[in-house]
Amino acid sequence: MNETLERWGSQRAFILAVTGAAVGLGNIWRFPYVAGENGGAAFLALYVGFVVLLGLPVMMAEILIGRAGRRSPSQSLAHLARQAGQSTHWRWVGSFGGVTVFLILSFYSVVSGWSIEYLVATINGSFVDAAPDQVAADFERFLADPLRMTFNHTLFLLLTMSVVAAGVSNGLEKLNNLMMPLLYVLLAVLVFHATTTVGFAQAMDWLFTPELSAVNPGVVLNAMGHAFFTLAVGACALMAYGAYMPDHQSLPRAVGMVAILDITVALLSGIAIFSVVFSQGMDPAAGPGLMFVTLPIAFADMPLGSVWLGMFFLLLLMATWTSSINLAEPMVAGLQGLGWRRSRATALVTVSVWLLGLLSVLSFSTLADVHWLAGRNFFELVSTVPSDVFLPLGGLLIAIFAVWVLPRDIALRALDAGPNGFRLWRAVVRYISIPLMCLVLISSLI
Ligand code: TRP
């Protein structure tokens, strides 16, 4: 298989595509509830630290491999390994990434389906003057209804895969251009509202005053996993996007932008959501339903609340859409690399992800008490282990490949940050990121 000729249309298009991959459920839905379960500020501090020390350097490693290889992830790894005179078994890192995104996309599509449900409910006026208890009870009722959940999961997956079928560098650019600025405006409105609520001070304190006593190995592992998840790093999905990156664009500058945009979205939604949590005397550790219960309540007492709420779910849907497109791309590119036509590859991925997603759907009703590992039901398993263990493991292998296998001149050119920038990046990956990943993985698995 030869080099891909597909390219993002411009430098801006590349940054938007990677931001689109990064900003999604991870920032708006996952960050608040995982922070809620892990004590708040301590988790936030660790997560930001991991983004800087691990997430960013490994993200650069991942994208530069794709950019240097210009093929599907597995093929890029094999091709570059061959050039370096090393084993082509490195291709299995690409396959491992494929398994990881497969598992993640299966639950991601289900949860994104919840936003479709909530968008429609908002348009129908279901949340006008809704009482907090009512909103919580409605969410429970929705979760207990596998048919409605399956319908939304199906719809969302079809939405995603129809873009993937057409090739990601068409179409995605326009979607991102429209969505990202609007998302920020809406979050700003929400945060402004949050400052007027009684829970605001408590939320700020809870998010920004870390307590060391709240830190244990589990919290550290979760924070590391979340840093990878939110940046979309560790599963070769950004490697697939790197293959389409134009020449003459500095990689560190591009990913630096992405990280800032990504963290900001998480912080803004955290402030918005926890202000409601504390205003209403709710439990921050309420779990995956946190966002879906708090936001309708927050908007209910705002003027034109339903209009804002509807816009919010629409934007959330667009944000998750661009992320799930990124999750699907490496699988489709991988099958294409094996000689499949894009249409057939897309069809196979769609059907398999859909089927696996049904197990997540049923985890909220029929299979709720069927435990697969350490007391976790299927949804609890698939929404934690791939992110918290597989992504860091994949990231570790990607980092090792980039700094010890890939020939220096190839990496230097693909990073495009000059010799000093290159030396700094490589030193950080070698002496900080890699040891840190090993340390956290080993200590938490023991
Ligand atoms: N970063 C996305 C989010 O926060 C999820 C995501 C997109 C992802 N592509 C990925 C996670 C690749 C891991 C790997 O919602």
pLDDT tens per residue across span 228-260: 999 999 999 999 999 989 888 899 999 999 999
pLDDT of residue 287: 85
Cα(324) to ligand 1 centroid in Å equals: 7
Angle, in degrees to the nearest 10, between helices 11-22 and 251-279? 30
Pocket-forming residues, ligand 1, beta carbon under 6 Å: 21-22, 24-27, 101, 104, 229-230, 232, 235, 237, 323, 326-327, 391
* Beta carbons of 135 and 127 less than 8 angstroms apart: yes
What residue has token string 């590992």? 373
Whether domain 11-445 has CATH 1.20.1740: the reply is yes
User: pLDDT for 423-436, tens place per residue?
Assistant: 999 999 999 999 99
Atom of ligand 1 nearest to the CA of 233: 14
Answer whether residue 119 shows pLDDT above 80.
yes
Q: Which of 4-18, 193-207, 344-358 has the highest mean pLDDT?
A: 344-358
The pair phi, psi for residue 376, each rounded to 5°, is -100, 135
**What is the reported pTM?**
0.94
Cα(328) to ligand 1 centroid in Å equals: 10
Cα(201) to ligand 1 centroid in Å equals: 31
Q: How many CB atoms within 10 Å of residue 4? A: 20
Answer whether residue 2 shows pLDDT above 70.
no
Cα(259) to ligand 1 centroid in Å equals: 13
Q: What is the mean pLDDT of residues 357-384?
A: 93
Atom of ligand 1 nearest to the CA of 97: 14
Answer whether residue 292 shows pLDDT above 80.
yes
Q: What is the mean pLDDT of residues 88-100?
A: 97
Which of 176, 327, 353, when mutated, tests ligand 1's pocket best, judged by the most ligand atoms within 8 Å of its CB? 327
Helix ranges (DSSP H) in 301-390? 305-337, 342-362, 378-382, 385
Q: What is the mean pLDDT of residues 299-324?
A: 86
Calpha distance 143→371 (Å, rounded): 18
Cα(98) to ligand 1 centroid in Å equals: 13
How far, CA to CA in Å, does 418 sit from each of 148, 320, 344, 410?
53, 35, 42, 13
User: pLDDT for 148-166, tens place per residue?
Assistant: 999 999 999 999 999 888 8
Q: Which two tokens stand for residue 151?
A: 């319908």
Q: How many CB atoms within 10 Å of residue 408? A: 11
39: confidence class by pLDDT, cuts 50, 70, 90: confident
Answer whether residue 265 shows pLDDT above 60.
yes
User: For the chain, what are the domain ranges?
Assistant: 11-445
Answer whether residue 171 shows pLDDT above 70.
no
pLDDT of residue 213: 85
The mean of the pLDDT values for the chain is 91
Nearest CA owner, ligand 1 atom 12:
232
* Beta carbons of 173 and 17 less than 8 angstroms apart: yes
**Residue 376, beta-bridge partner list:** 373
Answer whether residue 115 shows pLDDT above 90.
yes
418: confidence class by pLDDT, cuts 50, 70, 90: very high
